[in-house]
Structure 1
Amino acid sequence: RYKIQKKVREHNKKLRKDAKKKGVGKKVKKDIGVPNKAPFKEDILREAEQRRSKLEEEKEKKKLAKQQERAQKRKKENSASRDADPKAKKARKCPSESIFIRLLSYLLQVIDASDIIVEILDARDPLGCRCPQLEEAVLKGEGNKKLLFLLNKIDLVPKENVEKWLQCLQLEFPAVAFKASTQQQDKTVQEKKARFAALNGVVDQTKGVACYGSSSLLQLLGDYANATGREGSLKVGLVGFPNVGKSSLINSLKGMRACNAGVQRGITRCFQDVHISKNVKMIDSPGIVAAQSNPKAAMALRSLQVEDKQETVLEAVRTLLKQCNKQQVMLQYNVPDFRNSLEFLSFFAKKRGFLQKGGVPNTELAASTFLNDWTGAKLSYHCKAPEKPSLAPYLSEDIVREMQKGWDLDKLRKGNEETLRSMLILLEKILNSFILQ
C-alpha cells in the first residue's frame, strides 16, 4: 500500500514539473481592481461601469437589427412566392377544389389529344358509371371524335345480365365486353407458365390471371384505323370513374405492368401514353371525380372522398351497406344478422381477426377491407338492365347513327359472344378441376 502511495506521489510530482516547463497550469492573476488609496477612485469606477453598459447596449442593438433583417427577408420571399403563384393561397384554403381542377384539366387534355374516347363502365352498375357531362362534351367537341363503351368486370355478373346490358348500351354507342387481368407480371414469366400449363394440362384456377375481350377490342380498333386510312397511330383515350379498370385494361392489352393499378381508388393522378401496337396508342387518364351534389351512395362509390379525408371509412361503409343485399353480405363474409353498420363491422373484424388491445374489434381496418372488396372484384352485386331503354336527352337518332359509322358492328357482336363463351368454358374447367380434386 505504501509503495503504491509513493508511486502516485512521484507520478503527480512528475506531471507538475512537466506542466511547469510547458507553462501550463499557471494561475491567472486576479484583477485587484482600483486600490483604495488611488485618487478619484469613484470617478474611475463610474466610467468603467458606463463603458460596460454602453458595450452591452451596442451588442443588444446589433442583435435586434439582425432579427429585423431576417424578418424582412422572410416577408419578401413569401410575397414573391405569392406573386408568382396567386392560386397557392386558394389551394391551401380548399385543397379538394384544387385537386378537382387539376384532375379536370388532365381529363380535358386526354379528350383533346384522342381520336376515340373509350368510356369504361363497371358491369355491376353500368348506368351508375356513365358520366353524361363527359359524353355531351365529347359529342359537342371538335374533330368528330368517336365514343365507345367498354363493359369491364363481366366475370362478376351473370351472363344473361351482361347480354342485356350490351343490347341496351349498343342502342347508343358500340359496346365491348371485357374482363381485365388483375395479376400482371413480366412477359417471360407468363410465357413459361403458359408452356407449363400446355404441357401438363394444368388449369390456372386464379380468375385474376385471365384476360378476355382483348382480341375483340384490338381487332375493332385496328379495323377502324384501316377503314379511315389514318397516318400514324390511332390515339385512344380511356375515361371513367375511379376503379373501373382503366389502368388494368392497358396492362392487360400490353401484357405487362405499364401503368400503376390497384384496389385503392384514385391511383392514377395524371395522363400517360402507352403504345399497344403499331397503329394503336392508348392514353390513361385520372378518374372522374363526382360532384358534391350527387347522392351519398354515388359519392362513396365514385369519388375520392375517403382518400381526401373528407369522409371517414365508417361513413362510407354505412352508406354502401344501405345499397347492399343483407343476405348476400352475410353469406359473403359468413357473419350473423346485424342491425347496423357498426355491428356488421364488429362481426367482420372478429371473423378476420382484426382485434386491438383487450380484444376490441378494429372497426376502421374492417371498414377499409370492406371498401377494398366493394371497389375490387369480390362483391358480385349487379344492377338489372332497364326493360325499355331510352336515349339520353343529349342524344338523337342522327347522332347515334353518326357515332356507329366506321365500326364493324357484326364483327363486334360476334367478338362479344366469343368472349362470354370463353369465360363460361374457363369457369367450367375450374369447377371440373375442383370436383376431380
Structure 2
Amino acid sequence: MKRPKLKKASKRVSCAKRYKIQKKVREHNRKLRKEAKKKGVSKRVKKDIGVPNSAPFKEEVLREAEQRRLKVGSSSCSPLSQVIDASDVVLEVLDARDPLGCRCPQLEEAVLQRGGNKKLLLVLNKIDLVPKENVERWIQCLQQEFPVVAFKASTLIRDKTVSRIDPSNEIQDKSRGAVCFGNGCLTELLSTYADNLQNEATLKVGVVGFPNVGKSSLINSIKGVMACNVGIKRGMTKLMQEVHILKNVKAIDSPGVVASPSNPPASMALRSLQVEEGSESALEAVRTLLKQCDKTQIMLQYTIPDYKNSLEFLTLLAKKRGFLQKGGVPNTEQAAITFLADCTGAKLSYHCKAPENLSLPAYMSDAVVAEMRNSWALNKLKAGNEETLKGVKFPSQSSSISFISKGPTAGLLSASDISEEKPAAAATEVEAEQNDENNEVTIDGQLPDNTAV
C-alpha cells in the first residue's frame, strides 16, 4: 500500500545528526563558562535560608547580624538622614489601616530637632481599605499634633508613558482602580506654601515612612507617571531619588525606615524587612499577625471554615488558592507569603480603633503643634479632605477586619541606635508568644520539629 503524502515535513533526524547537535551545544556552553571565568563572573549566589527556628539564641544571632549589616554600609540609614537634612517639608506616609503603628517617634523627633524651620505633614494613605467612620476618627485624632492629608494613591500606573487619569471617569472602579484621590489637595497645599516662601528656590519635600506604606506610589500619583519603582515586595526603594512634581516643588523619595529589633513581633511582621531578607520565617509572621486579628472576620474575608491555629489556617488557604506541592500537599509557605502580601499591600481591608484621648509624646508640646500648623492653609486642607472622603468608595464596617495595634514603631536612623539588650517589655512579650506557641496544636495534634506556627 502506498504511503500517503504528508502535509508537513517530519521533524525526525538521524541519530548521528542529533548527537552532533548535542556535542555542539556542550562545546558552546563550555566556551561560555570559560569566558565567564576569565571575566571573574561567579555563579549565582544561593538564597540565604536564614536561622533555623530550633537554633539556640536565635534572637541574639539575628541582632548581631543586623548590627553587622548596618555597620558595613549603613545603606538603609544614611539616605534617610540625607533626605531629612535636604527637605524643607517632610511628609510622613502612614497606612490608614494602622496609622499609629506606622508612626516612628525617632523619625518625628529628628525632623523637629533639625534646624531651618522644617515642617512635618502626615499623609494618611490607603484610605480606601478602611471604613469611612474609622478614617474620619483618625484624621481628628492625628491632626491634634500635625496637619493630616487624606490620600488614596493610584495603583495602575505602570510606566513612564501613562498620562494622568481623570477621576471623573465613572466607568473605573474608584475603590481599587487607578483613580487617585487627595493629590489635588496635597499639591495645592504644597504649592501655596512654596509661593509664601518668597524666594525662587524650589521647595524640597521629603517623603518618608516605613516600608510598603506607599511612599513611591504617592509620588507617582502626584506626578502622573511612574517616576519611582513600586511593588508588593517591601524595600523596593534603596536610595534617595528626586522627582519634580510641580514647577516649584521637588519630591525626594527615600528608603523605608529600619524597624528596631526591640519592637513587638506584630510590629516587626508588618514594618520590617526580615521576611524578605530571609532572617524571619513567613510562617512565624503569619502566626503573630493572626493573634492581632478577629478570627471570625478572617474566616469571612478568606471564605474558609473554622481553624484551630495558624498552620491549619494556612493549610486551608493553600487548598482554597490551589497552592499545592507534589502529591497534593498544601504549600503553607506560599500561603503565608500571600497573606503577608495582602496585609502589607493594597488588598486586605483591616482597621484599628483610634484612641479617644491621645496624649502628646515627650518631643511634642503646644508650642511645637502651633509651629507645625503655622503657614499652612488649614481651611483649604479641611475642605480638600472632605472632598476626598466624598469621592472614595469605602468598605463597610462588617467587611473590614478589626486589628489590634501595638502603638508607634521604634525606628533606627543610624547604626549606633541599635541597643545591646532587648527591653524588658519586648522580652516579656516574646516569652508570652513562645508560651502561646507551645499551647498550640496542629491538625495531627503535634507541632512540627523545625517550624513555629
- In the superposition, the TM-score normalised over structure 2's length comes to 0.70
Task: Return the alpha-carbon distance in structure 2 between the equivalents of residues 96 and 339 of structure 1.
Answer: 38
Match of 1:127 in 2: 100
Query: Does residue 367 of the first structure (1) align with residue 329 of the second (2)?
Result: no
- Retained in 2: the 8 A contact 1:228–1:406? no
* Candidates 200, 208, 212, aligned match of 1:231: 200
Q: Structure 1 residue 230: deviation in Å?
A: 2.9
Q: Structure 1 regions of 5+ residues with no counterpart?
A: 1-90, 429-437
Q: Which runs of 5+ in 2 are unaligned?
A: 1-63, 397-453
2:223: which partner in 1? Answer: 254
Deviates more, 1:124-133 or 1:322-331: 322-331
Aligned equivalent of 2:77, options 74, 99, 104: 104
User: Does 1:216 find its partner at 2:189?
Assistant: no
Residue aligning to 1:74: none
SS in 2 for 1:235: strand
State the shift of 1:170 in Å. 1.0
Alignment of 1:56-135 (within 5 A): 96-98=69-71, 101-135=74-108
User: How much is the aligned-residue C-alpha RMSD, in angstroms?
Assistant: 2.3
SS in 2 for 1:276: strand
The answer as to 2:180 corresponding to 1:207 is no
* Separation in structure 1 between the aligned mates of residue 358 and residue 66 of structure 2, nearest angstrom: 44
- The 1:419/1:363 distance shift into structure 2, 3 A limit, reads same
Shift of 1:194: 5.6
- What is the count of residue pairs matched by the alignment? 333
CA contact (8 A) 2:174 2:392 kept: no
Question: For 1:143 and 1:194, how far apart are their aligned partners in 2?
Answer: 37
- Cα distance in 1 between the residues matched to 2:72 and 2:385: 37
Cα distance in structure 1, aligned partners of 2:280 and 2:367? 43
- Does structure 2 retain, via aligned residues, the 8 Å contact 1:149–1:173? yes
- Secondary structure at 1:323's aligned position in 2? coil
Segment drifting more, 377-386 vs 411-420? 377-386
Q: Is 1:163–2:163 an aligned residue pair?
A: no
Residue of structure 1 equivalent to 2:351: 382
The alignment partner of 2:246 has SS state of coil
427 and 399 in structure 1: CA distance in 2 versus 1, 3 angstrom threshold: closer
Q: How many Å apart are 1:403 and its aligned residue?
A: 1.1
Find the aligned partners of 1:98 and 1:272 in 2 and give their Cα distance: 23
**Closer, same or farther: CA 96–321 of 1 in aligned 2, 3 Å:** farther
In structure 1, the partner of 2:119 is 146
**Matching residue's letter, 2:307:** F
* Structure 1 moving runs of 4+ over 6 Å: none
For the pair 1:407 / 2:376, whether they are aligned, the reply is: yes
Aligned pair partner of 2:387 in 418, 424, 429:
418
Mapped contact 2:131–2:395 kept (Cα < 8 A): no
Measured after TM superposition, the shift of residue 205 of structure 1 is 6.2
How far did 1:406 drift?
A: 0.3
Contact map agreement 1:96 1:308 (CA 8 A) in 2 = no
**Aligned residue among 256, 278, 297 for 1:287:** 256
1:378 Cα deviation from its structure 2 partner:
1.9
Question: Distance between the aligned counterparts of 1:294 and 1:133, measured in 2?
Answer: 13
Distance across 2 between alignment mates of 1:110 and 1:97: 18
Q: Deviations over 1:303-332 (max 9, x none)?
A: 111122110111111111111111111111
Between the two structures, name the one with larger relative contact order (CA 8 Å, sep ≥ 6).
2
Q: Please list the CA deviations of residues 377-422 of structure 1 after superposition, one character each: whole Å capped at 9, or x if unmatched.
A: 2221111111112211111111111111100111100000000011
Aligned to 1:321: 290
- The Cα of 1:284 is off from its aligned counterpart by 0.3
Deviations 1:233-269 (A, max 9, x none): 1100011000000000011011111101011111111
Distance in structure 2 (CA, Å) of the matches to 1:184 and 1:382 = 26
Residue 92 of structure 1: CA displacement?
8.9
> Alpha-carbon deviation of 1:208?
2.9
Q: Which one has a bigger Cα radius of gyration?
A: 1
Cα contact 2:161–2:225 (8 A) shared by 1? no
122, 137, 141: which is aligned to 2:110?
137
